[in-house]
Structure formats: structure tokens, C-alpha cells
Amino acid sequence: MSRRNELTGSAHISSERPPGFVLHERRKGLLRRSVDSVLQCESVPLTKLAERYGTPLYIYSATTIRERFAAFDNAFRNVPHTICYSVKANSNLSILRLLARQGCGFDVVSGGELERVLAVDRRAARKIVFSGVGKSREEMTAALKAGILLFNVESESELWTLAECAARLHKIARIALRVNPDVAADTHPYISTGLRKHKFGVPISIARTLYAKASATRYLKVAGVSVHIGSQITDVAPFAETVARVADLVRALRADGHQVVFVDTGGGLGIDYQKAGPNFADYVANYARAVTNPLRGLNLHLLLEPGRAIVGPAGVLLTSVLYRKQNDGKKFLIVDAAMNDLIRPALYGAHHEIVPVVQGDVQSEVRREVQREARSKNLPVKKEIVDVVGPICESGDFFARDRELPRTEEGDLLAILDVGAYGMVLASNYNTRPRPAEVLVSGKSVKVIRRRETVRELYSSEL
């Protein structure tokens, strides 16, 4: 096994996994004959991070984030564009700061996310688009004062509320209507947003009427068209169909006299949670062709809102095995992470690969004995079917069910992969559990970007 191989979710080696998390060969013992492989983030072994910062622990690769952003930026190099990272995917200030330094813009869906971006760099306001179906007057006012790039408006009522806020401040609000193209996408129903039955956007059939009303309002400026059909979409065909419908709308709006400058195609490009995906640069290039081909000749500035595709594979959740348990023939690994730390499996039935941090020769004497016995009988290394579950008092508190894993003992470390998006941002304090710490690794450098909460902090604001 080479020193810098890349880890796939099924724990074998492939060059197609993001390079942030790799298996590093390690020789041990007096004669250095004992060999194992330790999962590391860039140049830092996860075992060292567990020793220093404890578990559960979120770990992110800065290099992976930079490289995936660069792949997106490069894929759209032939058209005017701004990548507006979807803050809801992972809103940690250090990650926002890292992306801002790459020249990234931001897509926000709340006043809180707006404040986060402004806390990182107030100049980033010029590259902020504000999406979401329920913007309050206070949020609109804050965004107008900050001077954001664009409001993606999702209803006629919101349009008039924004006009009122802009008039009060004597500021012009640049708008794009988020249109609903009624395009189906093959994804989980909770994250599908492009059909008429969903709460998002306005029907594309009434868009021209609403644009006419908006253009007659002094403090609103029609500037673009916005669309977003859902999340975790891996087939580019729905994107192409959606943008083709938007292109037709742009032509009609320009014929009506509107100066449409921007098309916001949203985000939603998915990742493969179960196996090594295609080369990311090629994958994004294919997506770019699907999005840009229908817009040829329209001389538009493209806005893109990737989130998961940039940060998802850049993170793992490190957890320790507390107990092994067997109920009749059913085996459980009870770990110290729980659904409050990563809710995607419980909420969506989402799949995340789980791999031992140490592979090959084993950590514990129990497992060494198991391996010695297997080798003496010329048997393969023992694997087992287990449920990986947390300590919360809910049957839904699980990370995997009936998953085949190498024999794992109490005290071993497991890494839950691809949790850089919709992991920590969805974490809670259910069961009065402090949320994990987060660390960002760049080469050999490790930075704590969120310290672990204490129980006292959880109730300090209560009366």
C-alpha cells in the first residue's frame, strides 16, 4: 500500500476519492514487521486528533475545500460567473473565511447566515444572494443596508414587502424572481424543490406578470431570474431541462423590455455517499455544459450556489466505540456520537460510509488474537454485520443498519465519511448533549474552529 493512497468508502484504495483523507502506512514493533494503516486528514493522523481533541469530533480538510471550489470555478471559466457558496451546507466562520479568500460569493437563506458572512468580510456583501421563502422585514432591511448583490424573491407578497423596506431606506433592491419550472429531480422528497406542489418559487407561467409589476415599482430593479430544483441531484439532465425553460423566460422578459443581467441556477449538484465518484473536475465540467449550453448567446452573468459538492467530502465525524452489544443474533456497536451530532441517517435514511481509523494490524489485544487465529487457519480477516448506533434514547439514533464492517472492539475509532455538508449545521443539544468540536486541517496544521460545548453552557441562558 502506498504512502499517499486515497480511501474509498468501502475501505479499499482508489485514486478517485478526494485527497483530504488518506490511509498512511505505519510500521510498528522492534523489527518493524507489524504493519497497519491509519486514516489521516492531509498530513495529520486521526488517532492524534482523537487523543488531543477527544470524540465525537468533526474534522475538515482545507485542501479539499480549496480544490473543489477551484474545480467549480475552472469549469465555468468561459462564461461570466460568480460562485455563491450555499452557507446552509456548512456555516462555520473559518470555512466561510477560507472560501472568501478564494474569491467566493455566498448564498444565504436567513439573517443569521447574512451576519456570519459579514462577520467574515463585509466586502463580501457585493457577492451575496439572499434566497428563502420566509424573509422577514428585519432580514430584508439588514440585507439592503449591507448592499447585497441580489434578492431571490419567492412570492408576490414578498415582492411588496421588499419594496416597502427598500422605500423606507431609499435604497434600490435588485431582484430575481425564483421561478418554479415544474421539473422533477431524482432525489429525496424532503430536498426536492422544483415541482408546483413545493413551497418554493412562483409558477413560471405567471412570472412575466410579476416582473411587469415589479418593474413599475420605484425601489425594485429587475435584474435576473432564479431557479433551484433541489439538492443531491447527480444526473445533469434535470439541470439542462430547467435552464432551457429559464432561457426561454429570459428571452420573453427581454422582449418585454426588462434588463435581465443575471441567471441564478441554484445549487443541488450531488455527491456519491456510497462509493468513489467520478473525477470531480470531469463531473463538474459535465454539469457546466448542461447549465451553460441553453444560455448560449444570451450574454448573461451566471450565479451558481454549490454547497454540498464543495464541502461534503471534505469532512468526517470521528467517533469512539463505547460498547459492543448483542441481542440474540443482532450485533450493535454503540458509539459516542449520536443523532444530535449527525442527523442525516435518522432524518433522511441517508447513507454514510463508516471505516475503521486503524486498518490492517489491530489496536486491541482482543482483535490481535482474532487476527492470529484467522491467519493460522488461512481465513480472511473477520468481518461482521452490525448496527452502528448512538447513546440517545431513540430507536432512530443510528448511523448504519446491517452494515458489514471489519471486527471492531470497544475503544476503537470509526470515521463517518462525507459529513462536511449538513452535519454540524443540523446538530442539536437533544438529551442535553454538548455539540462536538470542529477542527480544520491544512497540511500539518490543525486549527480548532469551534470548541466543544460544555453542559453548563447549554443551560446558562435559562431562567
List, by residue number, the catalytic residues.
393
The three grid cell numbers given for residue 15, joined into one nine-digit string: 485514486
d(CA 313, CA 271) in angstroms, rounded, equals 8
Query: Cα(444)–Cα(21) distance, rounded to whole angstroms?
Result: 13
102: three-class secondary structure by DSSP: coil
Supply φ then ψ for residue 175, to 5 degrees.
-130, 150
Q: How far is CA 84 from CA 2, 140, 164, in A?
A: 37, 18, 26
C-alpha to C-alpha distance for 421 and 88, rounded to whole angstroms: 8
142 dihedral zone (left: phi>0; alpha: psi -120 to 50; beta): alpha
CB 95 within 8 A of CB 441: no
Which of helix, strand or coil describes residue 202? strand
Peptide bond preceding 56 in cis form (omega within 30 of 0): yes
Is residue 167 exposed (0-12), middle (13-18) or buried (19+ Cβ within 10 Å)? middle
38: left (phi over 0), alpha (psi -120 to 50) or beta: beta
- Segment (H or E) for 25: strand 21-28
Query: Is the separation of the CB atoms in 106 and 89 below 8 Å?
Result: no
Grid coordinates representing 138 are 428585519
Element (H, E) at 67: helix 62-75
| Cell numbers describing residue 217 | 415599482
> What residues pair up with 99 in beta bridges, in sequence order?
none
CA 67 to chain centroid: 15
